[in-house]
A = this chain, B = another copy of it.
Amino acid sequence: MAIRETLRNAIIDRRLAPGTKLSESEVGSLFDVSRTVARAALQMLAFEGLVKTERNRGAFVSNPSPEEARQIFASRRLIEPGIVAAAVERITPEDIAKFRRQLDEEQRYLNERGPAARRAEIKASGDFHLMLASVAGNVILQRFMDELVARSSLVIALYGRSGVSSCGHSEHTAVLDALEKGDGERAAKLMIHHIDHIEADLDLQLKQGSGLKDALSLA
């Protein structure tokens, strides 16, 4: 199952570009394992929308359409305020401290240069939302968020215009501050604005007609 996690991480921090073909044999030999288990991993990833499989053609890193992107963010706008509301009831001082450390790390990557720092920054800013889902204590919503955050990362890779700083660091700290004060109302509002800002930074013109453009972008 480690192979699935490895591929997942590679996809969400953009080492694998959308459209990249992931053949079973290739994945299998790369991880030194048979096609059977490689196939299982790809099926999992397909199930959570990170790769798309075409019959008798293979698996490809997902190339979400603008419409899909909109639906992903619509889902997040719906779910994350609920996560925040649940989190404010359960968050402990230890959690707060852990969040602070996480935000410090975000900050650190923000100041560094280079693609490795960019990848780490993306990962870290996504992890903030995931940690929030974790303290909310609902494993089902947590899994939904896992999927949504991962797919968001794909979408940002495709349609983001200002690079990586889209997931504003300061907005994360604002949410956490409200959470620490126990103001769930305000935290939820801030979270919605945060998601709005991420989506606003995207360029979601429908430059994909039906499916022939997929071929273009995967080159």
Contacts and interface: CB of A to CB of B under 8 A. Distances in A.
A218 interface: no
A141 B82 contact: no
A153 to B, nearest CB: 15
Question: Helix, strand, loop or mixed for chain A's interface?
Answer: helix
Nearest to A76: B140
A78 B40 contact: no
27 contacts: A36-B36, A40-B40, A40-B43, A43-B43, A43-B44, A44-B47, A47-B47, A49-B140, A68-B139, A68-B140, A71-B138, A71-B139, A71-B140, A71-B141, A72-B140, A74-B86, A74-B138, A74-B141, A75-B138, A75-B140, A75-B141, A75-B144, A78-B79, A78-B82, A79-B79, A140-B148, A144-B144
